[in-house]
Amino acid sequence: MQAAAAAVHRPHLLGACPGAGGAGRARRPSSTVRMALREDGPSVAIVGATGAVGQEFLRVISSRGFPYRSLRLLASERSAGKRLPFEGQEYTVQDLAAPGAFDGVDIALFSAGGGVSRAHAPAAVASGAVVVDNSSAFRMDPEVPLVIPEVNPEAMAHVRLGKGAIVANPNCSTIICLMAATPLHRHAKVVRMVVSTYQAASGAGAAAMEELKLQTQEVLAGKAPTCNIFSQQYAFNIFSHNAPIVENGYNEEEMKMVKETRKIWNDKDVKVTATCIRVPVMRAHAESVNLQFEKPLDEDTAREILRAAEGVTIIDDRASNRFPTPLEVSDKDDVAVGRIRQDLSQDDNKGLDIFVCGDQIRKGAALNAVQIAEMLLK
């Protein structure tokens, strides 16, 4: 998995396009990376350390100077024994199912799928760790806070280091949408939201990113595309998100947006519909979001609100037709918002259309989880 993730890190597959201005906060350049191994930091475990998000956990910890007294890299038995370098040290990946795997761990960052979280998070909690879980396993558990630090930090006010607990990281599409929608919601109250997504390969893991690249090469060479991760051609194509469809006809990805928004906003009445689509992009999602407000909100005020919002960058240059793109936000912390305009189909300034892009692996997963962990240190 690690090799696969590294292989797709070609500059133009993931980086900003030539001539584009810098948007969002870039990862700090390596010259300013602070060594974060220090005695007063917590003991940290990373579960799923060899996956795309696990690897990004390490990059984010390093770039933000997240302090740690010790670091334990955990993965399935299959990856145990693998050696990974990090900040000048070499770590041996350990089997997360081994007895005592979580002994002495203060914070455990999980990103190894819902099954692994369900099986092993309870053991981590029992040994006193705070689990920050990137899977969907506990998100809708009423006892588990579901947190975007810029949006609802109050939901985890009762969670303390040293007392076992789980904090859930929301779904990537929800995080990216709500980073932009929440500041507007606070001002004018969103009553209904219609979302259509443009989702990257990374949401299905490093192997999916590699499959998109391989398929594209095959198709350009006139060959049939290899379909292992997805059931259909992804290169030069888009398709309905591969999550299973539930009884009401929505897929699980869409229902996450519906349900998680209600929980994060603590608003059972907010109406959300979503259509989730995969597009052949590597690691950043885009979302077209139509908002319906209780109170009037004009687009200039909306722009001011978003300009002041933490973790949000505005890219909205109508004259030069420059707006957020997945490539431009790749490897960036901030969610980018543009195409901010009064919705013609709603009266009295009670509607807005916006277009949002965010790095799926970073703010959509690893960064948000590390930010949750940072709140535990305050």
Q: Using CB under 8 A, which residues numbered 287 to 306 contact a second copy?
A: 288, 290, 299
CB nearer to a second copy: give 340 or 365: 340
Tell me whether residue 295 or residue 318 sits nearer to a second copy (CB atom). 318
277 touches a second copy by CB under 8 A = yes
Interacting residue with a second copy among 210, 260, 334, 353 (CB under 8 A): 353
Nearest to 225 by CA among 280, 157, 263, 305: 280
Among 43, 76, 127, 237, binds a second copy (CB under 8 A): 237
Q: Does residue 7 belong to the site contacting a second copy (CB under 8 A)?
A: no
Tell me if 136 sits within 8 A of 155, measured CB to CB: no
* All residues at 6 or more sequence positions from 73 whose CB lies less than 8 Å from its CB, including other chains: 45, 46, 49, 50, 54, 84, 86, 91, 92, 93, 94
Alpha carbon separation from 261 to 139, 146, 151, 186, 252 (Å, rounded): 11, 10, 11, 14, 14
Residue closer to a second copy by CB (options 8, 49) is 8
**345 near a second copy, rule: CB under 8 A:** yes
Closest approach, Cβ 24 to a second copy, in A, equals 16
CA dihedral in degrees (113, 117, 120, 121; nearest 10)? Answer: 150
Q: Choose the stretch contacting a second copy; rule: CB under 8 A; options: 27-35, 89-97, 170-178, 344-352.
A: 344-352
What are residue 239's DSSP bridge partners? 278
Which of 89, 231, 268, 348 lies at the binding interface for a second copy (CB under 8 A)? 231
Give 27: exposed, middle or buried? Use CB within 10 Å, 0-12, 13-18, 19+.
middle
The answer to whether 106 and 80 have CB atoms below 8 angstroms apart is no
Selected from 282, 337, 370, 373, the binder of a second copy by CB under 8 A is 282
For residue 279, state whether it binds a second copy (rule: CB under 8 A).
Answer: yes
- Round to whole Å and give the CA distance between 340 and 141: 34
Which residues are identified as catalytic? 172, 285
Judged by beta carbon, residue 220 or residue 377, the one nearer a second copy is 220
Residues 164-183 contacting a second copy, CB under 8 A: none
Q: How far is it, in rounded angstroms, from Cα 297 to Cα 106?
A: 44
Residue 183 CB, nearest approach to a second copy (Å): 19
Complex with a second copy: residue 238 or 377, whichever CB lies closer: 238
d(CA 41, CA 158): 20
CA-based end-to-end distance of the chain: 34
Contact range with a second copy by CB under 8 A, out of 69-77, 86-94, 150-158, 346-354? 346-354
Please state the closest distance from residue 27 (CB atom) to a second copy, in A. Answer: 19
**Mask of contacts with a second copy, 311-330, x by CB under 8 A?**
-------xxxx-x-xxx---
282 within 8 A of 8, measured Cβ to Cβ: yes
Q: Which helix (H) or strand (E) holds 213?
A: helix 206-220
- Is residue 335 within 8 Å of residue 313, measured between CB atoms? yes
Q: Pick the binder of a second copy from 242, 313, 360, 368 (CB under 8 A).
A: 242
Q: Is the Cβ of residue 167 or residue 340 nearer to a second copy in the bound state?
A: 340
Residue 308 lies near a second copy (rule: CB under 8 A)? no
- Restricting to residues 246-275, name those near a second copy by CB under 8 A: 248-251, 258, 271-273, 275
Binders in 189-218 for a second copy, by CB under 8 A: 192-194, 196, 198, 212-213, 216-218
- Give the binding range for a second copy (CB under 8 A) out of 64-72, 104-112, 138-146, 238-246: 238-246
H/E segment holding residue 286: strand 284-293
Q: Could you give the 3-state DSSP secondary structure of residue 241?
A: coil
Q: Round to whole Å and give the CA distance between 254 and 135.
A: 15
Instruction: Tell me whether residue 278 or residue 363 sits nearer to a second copy (CB atom).
Output: 278
Binding positions for a second copy, 87-146, rule CB under 8 A: none
Q: How many CB atoms lie within 10 A of CB 366?
A: 27
Query: Which range touches a second copy (CB under 8 A), out of 44-52, 59-67, 132-140, 338-346?
Result: 338-346
For residue 370, give both structure tokens: 């590390």
